[in-house]
């Protein structure tokens, strides 16, 4: 089931945070959401998570309109912000138990055990969140997001605080969820992460959508004078000359 954003606008009084973006992330696809600070990326993710109400536009998660079916939409979703907040006085396992209760999960323990092993958290099962490093807290937040096997996943800077092994585990887990049919959005300043994992790309600048489409097609479309651009070249050219708006074929 897909993620759908249709003519999404978000204003704060006279300030325009997002100015009418539209895109779809089909099941099994990973979209890279990139742009400078203040581009509107987090505002878009927070609206998709049901935290912010759009000024205008339609948002849907796994076939559920967020305005009309917010509970069903959120039940199909996992959102992990760039600085996830845990409950300091709960252990890692108590976080899993809390999430299982919130989503009314049955037979969740096997999934939780697999997540502990995958993210190398077994030795931290009974550790309080307040005792965990930044990277460990990130892993716990991701595991809690995965526990109910969401159909749509929103990740804001998912590699923050992770060591090299943790980075590889995280990247493998994201690819695995997409292969299993989840629609995934990754917002990151790490263009290498986007190139490694994402099948499509959306570049934003000052709330506007500058480029959207399949990554391979965008590379072909955005070649200048026969020179194949890197993603970094593409990013800086578009964000430094934001009057250009490009969409790849069928993007």
Q: What is the CATH number of the domain that holds 214?
A: 3.40.50.300
DSSP state of 180: T
pLDDT, position 245:
53
**CA 134 – CA 58 distance, rounded (Å):** 35
Tokens for 188, please give them.
Answer: 């990151």
Which stretches does DSSP call E strand in the chain? 3-12, 15-25, 30-34, 56-61, 64-65, 77-80, 152-156, 183-187, 200-205, 208-214, 246-247
CA atoms within 13 A on the CB side of 91: 11
CB atoms within 10 A of CB 146: 24
Rounded CA gap, 42 and 18, in Å? 10
In terms of C-beta density within 10 A (0-12 exposed, 13-18 middle, 19 or more buried), how is residue 46 classed?
middle
The total domain count for the chain is 1
pTM for the model = 0.91
Question: In whole angstroms, what is the distance from residue 251 CA to residue 208 CA?
Answer: 16
**pLDDT score at 132:** 96
Bridge partner residues of 25 (DSSP): 3
- Residue 234 sits in which domain range? 3-247
* Unique residue bearing structure tokens 């990754």: 186
pLDDT tens for 186-245 read 999 998 899 889 999 999 999 999 989 998 787 777 665 566 667 788 788 888 875 555
Please tell me the predicted confidence (pLDDT) of residue 223: 64
DSSP for 69-135, please give it. Answer: -HHHHHHTEEEE-SS----TTSBHHHHHHHHHHHTT-SS-HHHHHHHHHHTT-GGGTT-BGGGS-HH
Tell me how crowded residue 104 is: count the other CB atoms within 10 A of its CB: 9
Regions of the chain with pLDDT less than 50: 249-251
Find residue 152's DSSP bridge partners: 77, 183
pLDDT, one tens digit per residue, over 163-174 is 999 999 999 999
């Amino acid at each position: 089931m897909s993620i759908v954003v249709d003519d999404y606008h978000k204003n704060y009084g006279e300030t325009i945070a997002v100015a009418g973006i539209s895109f779809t992330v089909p099941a099994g696809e990973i979209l890279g959401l990139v742009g400078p600070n203040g581009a509107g990326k987090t505002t878009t993710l927070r609206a998709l998570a049901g935290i912010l109400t759009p000024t205008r536009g339609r948002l849907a998660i796994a076939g559920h309109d967020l305005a009309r079916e917010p509970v069903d939409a959120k039940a199909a979703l996992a959102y992990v912000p760039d600085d996830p907040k845990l409950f300091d006085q709960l252990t890692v396992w108590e976080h899993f138990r809390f999430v299982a209760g919130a989503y009314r999960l049955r037979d969740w323990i096997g999934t939780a055990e697999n997540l502990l092993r995958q993210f190398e958290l077994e030795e931290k099962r009974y550790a309080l969140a307040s005792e965990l490093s930044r990277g460990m807290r990130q892993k716990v937040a991701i595991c809690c997001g995965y526990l109910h096997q969401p159909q749509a996943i929103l990740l804001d800077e998912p590699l923050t605080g992770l060591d090299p092994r943790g980075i590889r585990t995280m990247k493998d887990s994201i690819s695995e969820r997409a292969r299993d049919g989840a629609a995934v959005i990754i917002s990151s300043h790490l263009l290498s992460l986007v190139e490694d994992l994402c099948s499509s790309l959306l570049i934003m600048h000052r709330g506007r959508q500058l480029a959207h489409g399949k990554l391979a097609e965008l590379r072909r479309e955005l070649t200048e004078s026969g020179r194949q651009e890197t993603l970094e070249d593409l990013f800086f050219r578009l964000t430094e000359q934001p009057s250009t708006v490009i969409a790849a074929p069928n993007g």
